Amino acid sequence: MTRLEDLLTASAERSPGSTALVGPDGVETLSYADLDALTNRIASMLVDRGVAPGDRVGVLAAKTPWTIASLIGTLKAGGVYVPVDSASPAARVARIVRSAEPTVLLADATAETLVDGLVDEGLPDLTVGSLESPLEGERFTTAFAAGDIAALDPTRPDVGKDPLAHLLFTSGSTGIPKGVMITHDMVSAFVDWALGHFGTKPGDRISGHPPLHFDLSTFDIYATLAAGAELHLVPASLGLDARRTAAFIRDRELTQWFSVPSVLTYLARFDAVGQDDFPALERLLWCGEVLPTPILAHWMRKLPRVRFTNLYGPTEATIASSYYDVPSVPEDESVPVPIGRPCDGESLVVLDEGREAAVGEIGELYIGGVGLSPGYWRDQEKTDAAFVTGPDGERIYKTGDLARADADGVVHFLGRTDSQIKSRGYRIELGEIETAVNTVSGVRECAVVGVDLGGFEGTTICCAYSVTEGAELPVNDMRRAVGTLVPRYMVPAKWLVLDELPKNVNGKIDRPVLRERFRPAPKESE
């Protein structure tokens, strides 16, 4: 079994002076030797503060070299890290913290208010380590700060190991985020395949775009460290600035870019990529949702020397389970590119009512093999519902995706069987938003639907609601209230206040009709 922290140590032994991490500002860098020593010190501090093998360490911090070091430091302490989305409101973070029960929470200045909010949410006894100078905050005690860590001896502590590496909390349909358990083995199997497939090498300059609570970031981190390459952390502030994002790829001379499709769509829509731009770029990868084919074709025409790969997979099966290297600019831009074939050690099975679907037949996609998670953190019921036994007796994960396999064994993605959506790459259960809306006082009924309105974000989140008699709940108040319950990216972009929600013959909310209500009316001439 390869331990993820050992990937760093092995590269540090091979090339201690090479750059491992470059911060979002381009100034803060850590060499392999420095990162190895820093992570040893963080591990010693965590052990000293009571972290035992298998204990969780929560991380509420911006994506910086120090934050990455704290993840690996946790592994070196035998712990399991839990990166928490610091864009989430305190109520949601508190639910995650209560579930993960971290022995220590590592935070930085960006999380000060949030940590105070956790105290308000009834979590007063957190041990909070600061990744910087001691944090200010009326009601939380700083257990230790960056200066205390720097003073420690850089010897790696000798501690027991746990198979779990991290917990990643994803949106849950009942309003409670689900913690997917990720082991060292799951990630290292994917990294092994990826290094071979993409030929990642020392000196490669790799983007670190997705947030740390999103499993795509684990590919960037561990494939970079295993290869002895450089990880360039993309500033979150670039978010929606297409030109600055393009300049980042150009100026950092990145050899690999990996992100969710909405970023690529955004850059294409703003025409931020020049002909034969990014001369250092060797490959461009995306994962997480469908990249519209016209956008892919635009990129491929602009960058004819670059290799383009679609990666597909859910968090529950680690980063990606299948890949498709796009051989040439798609001729028919109305056809989506396939999600391809399984990565080494993985299997994709399309089932129709429990049996393997025939070639070309649509069914639900299940995944088996080396990437499979042991399940959801402390939730046997959800684990048993999602991780089932396949036709050949193998353990498989029910993705909720619709797919078909063609005669060459290439798999095509066709949509979802449920109300999970992707918006700007974020995995969102519409049920989680509905649960939040329903808790707002004055709401009689609500429905949240995803509608493709052609925006770069992919699916637009739309909410219709009615209010109880006598109540007043204008959209602005509603938006504000929901914003205190779910992260910003889950707050519906479009709203409708109705006297009554449309119902189908069974008396259920008619979601297809509602979706149509959110589409703009066709123009007179159409």
Residues that bind ligand AMP (CB under 6 A): 170, 287-290, 310-315, 339, 399, 401, 413, 416, 422, 427
The torsion angle over the Cα atoms of residues 186, 354, 398 and 512, rounded to 10 degrees, is 160
Between 265 and 310, name the residue whose CB sits nearer to ligand AMP: 310
Between 306 and 414, name the residue whose CB sits nearer to ligand AMP: 414
Residue 313 beta carbon to ligand AMP: minimum distance, rounded to whole angstroms: 6
3-state class of 143 per DSSP? strand
The torsion angle over the Cα atoms of residues 479, 485, 487 and 488, rounded to 10 degrees, is 10
Residue 401 beta carbon to ligand AMP: minimum distance, rounded to whole angstroms: 5
Tokens of 48: 């000293």
Residue 286 beta carbon to ligand AMP: minimum distance, rounded to whole angstroms: 7
Burial class (CB in 10 A: 0-12, 13-18, 19+), 379: middle
Between 146 and 339, name the residue whose CB sits nearer to ligand AMP: 339
What is the spatial order of strands in the sheet that 494-497 belongs to?
443-451, 460-467, 494-497
Residue 370 beta carbon to ligand AMP: minimum distance, rounded to whole angstroms: 17
Residue 172 beta carbon to ligand AMP: minimum distance, rounded to whole angstroms: 12
Q: In sequence order, what DSSP letters do the residues of 292-324 get, joined into one string?
A: PHHHHHHHHHH-TTSEEEEEE--GGG-S-SEEE
Nearest Cα residue to 215 out of 320, 135, 300? 320
Between 40 and 315, name the residue whose CB sits nearer to ligand AMP: 315
3-state class of 115 per DSSP? helix
Are 348 and 320 in contact by the 8 Å Cβ rule? The answer is no
Tokens of 37: 């020593």
Q: How far apart are CA 276 and CA 293, in angstroms?
A: 19
Between 32 and 258, name the residue whose CB sits nearer to ligand AMP: 258
Residue 144 beta carbon to ligand AMP: minimum distance, rounded to whole angstroms: 33
Residue 222 beta carbon to ligand AMP: minimum distance, rounded to whole angstroms: 16
Between 32 and 312, name the residue whose CB sits nearer to ligand AMP: 312
Between 194 and 467, name the residue whose CB sits nearer to ligand AMP: 194
The torsion angle over the Cα atoms of residues 351, 353, 355 and 358, rounded to 10 degrees, is -60
